[in-house]
């Protein structure tokens, strides 16, 4: 075949896809127990939603977005992150007019034009959770706790929670001025100097070693928080302590998006090397106004599924996944195949995962299929069995074989596999 997936696109096929699916299902259950509802949003949006919401000074908007003009002349962009689109949907469908906070989660592919490497892809997968309409430290702590509980439920033991506060509209302007004064005295390229004037916090997010060395003595936002922000941050940490969730203060963490205020956090896994960040998020109290909505505070996160899969592998964790097949049917002859097909339907309706040999294979070839399916039991049905209205039930683990009346097969197998 002359086609293959585009460079930088991460795909999951069996058997690894079963782990990917199990991870997502575990998150769905974690979110459900905390009162979060699922929603599905557009994969592409008006480009201005991200330019105004995420921030034109960010690398995401200025360098990494997949933007195209549609046939109507509209500029559209494949989503590079979830929060702006989720908030747009909350506002568009009036969810904020009901009970607050609006608690929703979603997931799927996101797209950024980056240099592909392990853990960094052009099409990658995230789980996203948002709590919109509340400015309460307990909501911040709950959001962080849900991600922590999900990582713990997967069995990950080396995840670290990094925590910071980015202040608010009251205390950040003074910090911004002092940071700009400091940055203007550094040896930086012209593009970075331009960024100092637009959004100096973006410079703190620069990963280049030659820049990071010069930032060692940069002023810290934590030293410039107003009284309200400091008290807010202390309450978030107290709630986390009440839940026995450990964290590390990271006073230099600013995240890569412009909309963050106050609580910001990252989840880090040291075994992942350069791409050690496996999730993160924060509060975005001004995002609604930035995209044309009313004042509507919120907090949320995005967790990387791809990097979580890698982290599980690095820690040697294999998730238990439901069997693809529990019972495999082997039918010898056309009439037996018809009866087996009906029997498989009855088994599936009863909650038993069942498959069968198709294409009229002989006994040897069909039994190879049974072994490859991973099933524990095989049902063997031939002409003599049909005449006796029975089927041969073979335990593929012990090789023990017994005859079971056709009318009792479903009940017998339900008792063995459930």
Q: 142-155 pLDDT, tens per residue? A: 999 999 999 999 99
Res. 314 pLDDT band, cuts 50 70 90: very high
Does pTM surpass 0.85? yes
Q: What is the pLDDT of residues 340-398, one digit of tens each?
A: 999 999 999 999 999 999 988 888 998 999 999 999 999 999 999 999 999 999 999 99
Burial class of residue 93, CB neighbours in 10 A (0-12, 13-18, 19+)? exposed
> Please, what are the domains in the chain?
15-168+226-315 (3.30.930.10), 327-415 (3.40.50.800)
126 among annotated binding-site residues:
yes
Spatial neighbors of 341 by CB under 8 A, at least 6 apart, are 331, 356
**DSSP H stretches of helix in 160-200:** 172-183, 190-198
Cα distances (angstroms) measured from residue 284 to each of 68, 162, 245: 27, 18, 23
151 among annotated binding-site residues:
no
CA 223 to chain centre: 33
Q: How many CB atoms lie within 10 A of CB 256?
A: 18
Structure-block tokens of residue 61: 């908007």
Q: What is the pLDDT of residues 231-287, one digit of tens each?
A: 999 999 999 999 999 999 998 887 766 788 899 999 999 999 878 899 999 999 999
255 among annotated binding-site residues:
yes
Mean pLDDT of all residues in the chain?
A: 92
What is the rounded average pLDDT of the residues 73-78?
96
Q: Tell me, what's the pLDDT at 57?
A: 67
383 among annotated binding-site residues:
no
Spatial neighbors of 323 by CB under 8 A, at least 6 apart, are 353, 374, 375, 376
Q: What is the pLDDT of residues 26-48, one digit of tens each?
A: 999 999 999 999 999 999 999 99
130 among annotated binding-site residues:
yes
Q: Tell me, what's the pLDDT at 20?
A: 93
Burial 300-333 (b: 16+ CB within 10 A, else e): bbbbbbbbbbbbbeeeeeebeeeeebbbbbbbbe
Q: Note whether 86 and 41 are within 8 A (CB).
A: yes
Rounded Cα gap, residues 363 and 146, in angstroms? 51
Cα distances (angstroms) measured from residue 174 to each of 180, 182, 216, 226: 10, 13, 20, 10
Res. 55 pLDDT band, cuts 50 70 90: confident
Q: Note whether 157 and 327 are within 8 A (CB).
A: no
Q: Tell me, what's the pLDDT at 150?
A: 97
CA nearest 18: which of 318, 278, 313?
Answer: 318
Q: Tell me, what's the pLDDT at 256?
A: 62
Q: What is the pLDDT of residues 318-345, one digit of tens each?
A: 998 888 899 999 999 999 999 999 999 9
**Residue pointed to by tokens 């063997």:** 380
25 among annotated binding-site residues:
no
pLDDT higher than threshold 80 for residue 160? yes
41 among annotated binding-site residues:
no
DSSP 244: T
Q: Tell me, what's the pLDDT at 257?
A: 67
What is the rounded average pLDDT of the residues 91-96?
97
Structure-block tokens of residue 52: 């105004």
**Residue pointed to by tokens 């995005």:** 302
Rounded Cα gap, residues 63 and 69, in angstroms? 17
Structure-block tokens of residue 152: 């713990």
Rounded Cα gap, residues 150 and 27, in angstroms? 6
């Amino acid at each position: 075949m002359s086609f293959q997936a585009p460079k930088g696109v991460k795909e999951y096929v069996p058997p690894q896809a079963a782990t990917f699916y199990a991870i997502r299902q575990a998150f769905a259950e974690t979110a459900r127990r905390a009162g979060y509802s699922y929603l599905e949003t557009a994969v592409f949006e008006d480009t201005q939603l991200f330019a105004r919401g995420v921030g034109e000074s960010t690398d995401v908007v200025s360098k990494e977005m997949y933007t195209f003009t549609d046939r109507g002349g509209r500029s559209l962009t494949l989503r590079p992150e979830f929060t702006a689109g989720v908030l747009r949907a909350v506002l568009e469908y009036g969810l904020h007019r009901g009970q607050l906070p609006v608690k929703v989660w979603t997931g799927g592919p996101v797209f950024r034009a980056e240099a592909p490497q392990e853990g960094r892809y052009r099409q990658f997968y995230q789980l996203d959770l948002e709590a919109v309409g509340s400015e309460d430290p307990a909501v911040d702590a709950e959001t962080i706790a849900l991600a922590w509980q999900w990582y713990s439920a997967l069995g990950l033991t080396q995840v670290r929670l990094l925590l910071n506060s980015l202040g608010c509209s009251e205390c950040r302007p003074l910090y911004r001025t002092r940071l700009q004064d400091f940055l203007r005295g550094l040896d930086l390229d012209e593009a970075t100097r331009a960024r100092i004037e637009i959004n100096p916090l973006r410079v703190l997010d620069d990963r280049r070693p030659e820049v990071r060395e010069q930032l060692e003595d940069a002023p810290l936002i934590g030293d410039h928080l107003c009284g309200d922000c400091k008290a807010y941050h202390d309450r978030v940490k107290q709630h986390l302590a009440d839940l026995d969730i450990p964290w590390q203060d990271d006073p230099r963490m600013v995240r890569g998006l412009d909309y963050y205020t106050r609580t910001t956090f990252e989840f880090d896994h040291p075994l992942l090397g350069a791409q050690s960040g496996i999730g993160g998020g924060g509060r975005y109290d001004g995002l609604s106004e930035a995209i044309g909505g009313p004042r509507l505070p919120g907090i949320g996160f995005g967790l990387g599924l791809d990097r979580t899969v890698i982290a599980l592998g690095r820690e040697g964790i294999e998730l238990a996944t439901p069997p693809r097949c529990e019972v495999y049917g082997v039918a010898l002859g056309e009439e037996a195949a018809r009866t087996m097909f009906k029997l498989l339907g009855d088994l599936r309706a009863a909650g038993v995962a069942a498959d069968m040999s198709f294409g009229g294979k002989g006994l040897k070839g069909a039994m190879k299929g049974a072994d490859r399916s991973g099933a524990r039991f095989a049902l063997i049905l031939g002409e003599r069995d049909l005449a006796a209205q029975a089927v041969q039930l073979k335990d593929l683990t012990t090789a023990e074989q017994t005859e079971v009346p056709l009318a009792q097969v479903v009940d017998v197998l339900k008792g063995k596999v459930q």
